[in-house]
Chain A
């Protein structure tokens, strides 16, 4: 029920967005292509901006094809890029931004002034049509600012696309692992069930006390609870993945592979990962572009001395006054003389602010890259440790337990208890394997875009992009 409502809302907003986008079509399409190119260069997959029924049809066919077989991690990312509705909503930002950009190219509308004087039984009405000369003067500047703003919107959109890709990839590993762990939990319950049944028969013929019997039954009951929890975790993970892929209804029956991919024989060795992050990451690029723009604006400020091009809002609100002899007077102060130095100081500070923000972004990017690599290596070593030490040792333990059973040194119940222990270790090994692939995903994305551990974009979301003022 609520899903339907949500969908309707989404559809409605998509329709609105499409309308807006259509208004600024050529610019917005170019921008989308840039975003798609950025995405493809970095992760080898393109999003699609659904603006027509035909495109929707294309997406539907692609989904049908991808969902027909067990989804790979790549497939899941592709589905999300094509089908995530929030992403589509994000593409609308490009359309909205394009509209802003287009209007910035046009001069401000002419003004209309009306005055009424009354004295000596006479009334004088003065009418004037004014044309905002200043707005004409600053038009190229405001257009420049708008286009930089639009650049930011594009980078933000690309970040959003990459963030979705990262979150989807992580969710895929989590979902596959959770299903695998749930399956093992079922195996444990099977062992416990056999054990409980054997205990029941032991009790029946008088070989087991009520205490021994009850203990075995208790264990079975406990494993049943564990299965429920593991299944719930698997369902939650699957739902998370489904949401990111924008799936509902029968599409939610998508299949996942039975097991996680094996960990690679050799860990990735990324040279100069910090330099790579500085060169490639979208947030660093954005901060760089911002500092550059501020620097240019600073130069302009020094030339004109009164136009603050760093705050677009102020520029847009600029008005002109008109003179009036006898009547009331509308007087608007033009800050030519007083504000000159102050403005210059402010501009310098704004520039230094952007430079420092750039430095901070770069430091964060370097740190995130280092951390991701360390996390990756640790996860790799741990997964290896589980796969090549703990699991073989666990198998050795089980083999030796069977040998002891053969010698009647231990009982069937001890063998079964060992089977349970084994499954606990197998689950831990699976978790290590999953954590490796998640760390691998993080490592891939850390040089591309600011995607934090929870998979959401760390600094700039859609809303920030929409309302953010320049210089921040």
Chain B
């Protein structure tokens, strides 16, 4: 006779999800796997209480099934391969096929049942970061529950008491497991869909990896000297842009599971900080900002009315975090006379080429062979040339006339005549300035 426990054991022991029939695992919702690295447009909730879904940057939200008044999700912790940007893949640990795992969305007051299956080579747990719940559901291995051994499935059950922005991540060998990318967002929507209603609600999680150029697996022992700073385990130019319809109320929420703080900066707007780890900031207590620092292990949300069309840079203000892999022991070559040196060096190192004598911007333009599976240090280009950015950078694209649920990339902004910085010509000194036409073609 099969008990539920033995069923779970069978499910996890390698006969596993795909091989075991659905009827045999009738007690367990099928885990749903990642649709790919691009941003998935949010579907409206098909069951349970209504809510306005979030858009997970380069990610997606976990489907659920209703079981009585329980909303059931199934997370499978397992090794995954995540494309950090076109041209580079990382061997990470994730949930349901990606790192970070799917965003869990539910509504204040929901009773959630979360099945967690461990397909990692070591034990794990999940801690529901920020949630108010019974101590035994808090997911701290050894403290609040036994560790989930490889092959085992555990069930977490609790009621969501407050709406806001939360995260989930392991609380077992967490240094390694978070360095490997095990994490996800947990959004609890207000019971009233119109409370704090916005038109576009973006979420992402920040994580950092130290991957040796040419390798694919992060070094888990790194503490601070990471070389890939990611949003949802993606780096620019692999991070999708944030398309916004002109006039939309926009919310952007993020969590920080790296080991340092990130001053997140949006160009073109003054926004209001509307959410912290503890929930919503009352409107009277909100403060205007252009940069909001997300401390380690914290979540933040800000909102703005998208009244200024254009392509607006949105990035971490720590400049090393917008570079991608770079050498940290590279001496500064600026201003060093290289005359005669290149020739001598080429005789010893045939492929040698002088770089850095003027700065590092050359890197944004030059296309030189790199180690396998390595992204150029600064890359991505815009309508006016190289962007010289990588890592935690993307663009908020505010456009007129986008459809309500349309999250497709609208292309580069067409600046109205006279609204782009222009080059001063000798002939234009005495004449009225004549701005050049934009060179882009959108």
The contact string, 1 if C-beta is below 8 Å from chain B, for chain A 185-210, is 00100110110011001101101100
Does A419 count as interface, using CB distance less than 8 angstroms?
yes
- Within the complex, the shortest CB–CB distance from A212 to chain B, in Å, comes to 7
In the complex formed, the residue of B with least CB distance to A409 is B327
Task: Tell me the bound Cα distance from A202 to B112 in angstroms.
Answer: 63
- Within the complex, the shortest CB–CB distance from A442 to chain B, in Å, comes to 36
Interface centre among A191, A212, A403 (most CB of B within 10 A): A403
Cβ < 8 Å to A, chain B residues 285-326: 325-326
Cβ < 8 Å to B, chain A residues 401-417: 402-416
CB atoms of B369 and A412 under 8 A apart? no
**Known A402-B352, A407-B325, A408-B360; contact A190-B347, beta-carbon cutoff 8 A:** yes
- Number of A positions contacting B (CB below 8 A): 33
Cβ < 8 Å to B, chain A residues 368-401: 398-400
Does B16 count as interface, using CB distance less than 8 angstroms?
no
Task: Tell me the bound Cα distance from A398 to B352 in angstroms.
Answer: 11
Task: Tell me the bound Cα distance from A193 to B338 in angstroms.
Answer: 14
Q: Please, which residues of chain B bring their CB within 8 A of the CB of A415?
A: 345, 349, 352
Interface centre among B325, B327, B347, B377 (most CB of A within 10 A): B327
CB atoms of B370 and A194 under 8 A apart? no
Interface centre among B344, B349, B356 (most CB of A within 10 A): B349
Tell me how many residue pairs across A and B have CB atoms closer than 8 Å.
Answer: 106
Cβ < 8 Å to A, chain B residues 337-392: 337-338, 341, 344-345, 347-349, 351-353, 355-356, 360, 363, 368-371, 374, 376-377
**Known A406-B369, A408-B355, A416-B345; contact A202-B214, beta-carbon cutoff 8 A:** no
- Within the complex, the shortest CB–CB distance from A141 to chain B, in Å, comes to 76
CB atoms of B341 and A198 under 8 A apart? yes
CB atoms of A400 and B214 under 8 A apart? yes
Q: Please, which residues of chain A bring their CB within 8 A of the CB of B213?
A: 403-404, 407, 409
Does B330 count as interface, using CB distance less than 8 angstroms?
yes
- Within the complex, the shortest CB–CB distance from B425 to chain A, in Å, comes to 34
**Known A408-B355, A410-B330, A411-B327; contact A402-B336, beta-carbon cutoff 8 A:** no
In the complex formed, the residue of A with least CB distance to B360 is A408
**Known A191-B348, A205-B336; contact A411-B369, beta-carbon cutoff 8 A:** no
In the complex formed, the residue of B with least CB distance to A418 is B349
**Known A212-B331, A406-B370; contact A194-B336, beta-carbon cutoff 8 A:** no
Q: Please, which residues of chain B bring their CB within 8 A of the CB of A207?
A: 331-336
Does B329 count as interface, using CB distance less than 8 angstroms?
yes
Which of A205, A411, A419 is close to B348, meaning CB atoms less than 8 Å apart? A419
- Within the complex, the shortest CB–CB distance from A255 to chain B, in Å, comes to 25
**Known A408-B360, A419-B348; contact A201-B332, beta-carbon cutoff 8 A:** no
Q: Please, which residues of chain A bring their CB within 8 A of the CB of B331?
A: 202, 207-208, 212, 411, 413
Which of B214, B330, B336 is close to A201, meaning CB atoms less than 8 Å apart? B336
- Within the complex, the shortest CB–CB distance from A398 to chain B, in Å, comes to 8
The contact string, 1 if C-beta is below 8 Å from chain B, for chain A 145-180, is 000000000000000000000000000000000000
Q: Please, which residues of chain B bring their CB within 8 A of the CB of A410?
A: 327, 329-330
Which of A198, A404, A406, A416 is close to B336, meaning CB atoms less than 8 Å apart? A198
The contact string, 1 if C-beta is below 8 Å from chain B, for chain A 129-156, is 0000000000000000000000000000
Task: Tell me the bound Cα distance from A342 to B376 in angstroms.
Answer: 97
Q: Please, which residues of chain B bring their CB within 8 A of the CB of A194?
A: 341, 344-345, 348
CB atoms of B345 and A412 under 8 A apart? yes
- Within the complex, the shortest CB–CB distance from B339 to chain A, in Å, comes to 9
Q: Please, which residues of chain B bring their CB within 8 A of the CB of A204?
A: 337
Task: Tell me the bound Cα distance from A3 to B374 in angstroms.
Answer: 65
**Known A208-B331, A411-B327; contact A419-B349, beta-carbon cutoff 8 A:** yes
Q: Please, which residues of chain A bring their CB within 8 A of the CB of B351?
A: 399, 402
- Within the complex, the shortest CB–CB distance from B114 to chain A, in Å, comes to 41
CB atoms of A411 and B337 under 8 A apart? no
Which of A202, A208, A409, A416 is close to B325, meaning CB atoms less than 8 Å apart? A409
CB atoms of B337 and A403 under 8 A apart? no
Task: Tell me the bound Cα distance from A416 to B333 in angstroms.
Answer: 15
- Within the complex, the shortest CB–CB distance from A80 to chain B, in Å, comes to 38
Task: Tell me the bound Cα distance from A197 to B370 in angstroms.
Answer: 27
In the complex formed, the residue of A with least CB distance to B378 is A408
Q: Please, which residues of chain A bring their CB within 8 A of the CB of B363?
A: 407-408
The contact string, 1 if C-beta is below 8 Å from chain B, for chain A 415-426, is 110010000000
CB atoms of B376 and A407 under 8 A apart? yes
Q: Please, which residues of chain A bring their CB within 8 A of the CB of B349?
A: 398, 402, 415-416, 419
Task: Tell me the bound Cα distance from A409 to B374 in angstroms.
Answer: 11
Task: Tell me the bound Cα distance from A409 to B327 in angstroms.
Answer: 4
Task: Tell me the bound Cα distance from A412 to B352 in angstroms.
Answer: 9
Q: Please, which residues of chain B bring their CB within 8 A of the CB of A193?
A: 344
Q: Please, which residues of chain B bring their CB within 8 A of the CB of A187?
A: 348
In the complex formed, the residue of B with least CB distance to A399 is B351
Task: Tell me the bound Cα distance from A432 to B377 in angstroms.
Answer: 41
CB atoms of B344 and A190 under 8 A apart? yes
Task: Tell me the bound Cα distance from A60 to B330 in angstroms.
Answer: 62
Q: Please, which residues of chain B bring their CB within 8 A of the CB of A404?
A: 213-214, 327, 370-371
Interface centre among B337, B348, B360, B370 (most CB of A within 10 A): B348
Task: Tell me the bound Cα distance from A207 to B357 in angstroms.
Answer: 11
**Known A207-B333, A207-B336, A416-B345; contact A403-B327, beta-carbon cutoff 8 A:** no
- Within the complex, the shortest CB–CB distance from A307 to chain B, in Å, comes to 79
**Known A402-B349, A415-B349; contact A202-B336, beta-carbon cutoff 8 A:** yes
Q: Please, which residues of chain A bring their CB within 8 A of the CB of B329?
A: 410-411, 414
Task: Tell me the bound Cα distance from A413 to B330 in angstroms.
Answer: 9
- Within the complex, the shortest CB–CB distance from B343 to chain A, in Å, comes to 10
Q: Please, which residues of chain A bring their CB within 8 A of the CB of B325?
A: 407, 409
In the complex formed, the residue of B with least CB distance to A398 is B349
Q: Please, which residues of chain B bring their CB within 8 A of the CB of A201?
A: 336-338, 341
Task: Tell me the bound Cα distance from A400 to B376 in angstroms.
Answer: 15
CB atoms of B341 and A403 under 8 A apart? no
**Known A402-B349, A416-B345; contact A411-B335, beta-carbon cutoff 8 A:** no
Task: Tell me the bound Cα distance from A201 to B345 in angstroms.
Answer: 15
- Within the complex, the shortest CB–CB distance from A202 to chain B, in Å, comes to 5
- Within the complex, the shortest CB–CB distance from A395 to chain B, in Å, comes to 11
In the complex formed, the residue of A with least CB distance to B328 is A409
Q: Please, which residues of chain A bring their CB within 8 A of the CB of B345?
A: 194, 412, 415-416
Q: Please, which residues of chain A bring their CB within 8 A of the CB of B356?
A: 408
In the complex formed, the residue of A with least CB distance to B337 is A201
In the complex formed, the residue of B with least CB distance to A403 is B371
Q: Please, which residues of chain A bring their CB within 8 A of the CB of B360?
A: 408
Task: Tell me the bound Cα distance from A464 to B105 in angstroms.
Answer: 101
CB atoms of A409 and B326 under 8 A apart? yes
Which of B336, B352, B377 is close to A407, meaning CB atoms less than 8 Å apart? B377
- Within the complex, the shortest CB–CB distance from B38 to chain A, in Å, comes to 26
Q: Please, which residues of chain B bring their CB within 8 A of the CB of A208?
A: 331
Q: Please, which residues of chain A bring their CB within 8 A of the CB of B353?
A: 406
Task: Tell me the bound Cα distance from A208 to B332 in angstroms.
Answer: 8
- Within the complex, the shortest CB–CB distance from A4 to chain B, in Å, comes to 44
CB atoms of A408 and B337 under 8 A apart? no
Q: Please, which residues of chain B bring their CB within 8 A of the CB of A190?
A: 344, 347-348
In the complex formed, the residue of B with least CB distance to A406 is B368
Q: List 11 A-B contacts (CB under 8 A).
A: A191-B348, A194-B345, A207-B336, A212-B331, A402-B349, A404-B214, A404-B370, A406-B369, A408-B363, A410-B330, A416-B349
9 nearest A-B pairs in the assembled complex, by CB-CB distance: A406-B368, A409-B327, A194-B344, A403-B371, A205-B335, A411-B330, A407-B370, A402-B351, A207-B332
Give residues in B with beta carbon < 8 Å to A.
213-214, 325-327, 329-338, 341, 344-345, 347-349, 351-353, 355-356, 360, 363, 368-371, 374, 376-377
> Beyond the given A187-B348, A403-B369, A407-B374, could you list 12 further A-B residue pairs with CB under 8 A, ordered by the A residue number?
A205-B335, A207-B335, A399-B351, A402-B351, A407-B213, A407-B363, A407-B371, A407-B376, A408-B326, A408-B327, A408-B363, A409-B374
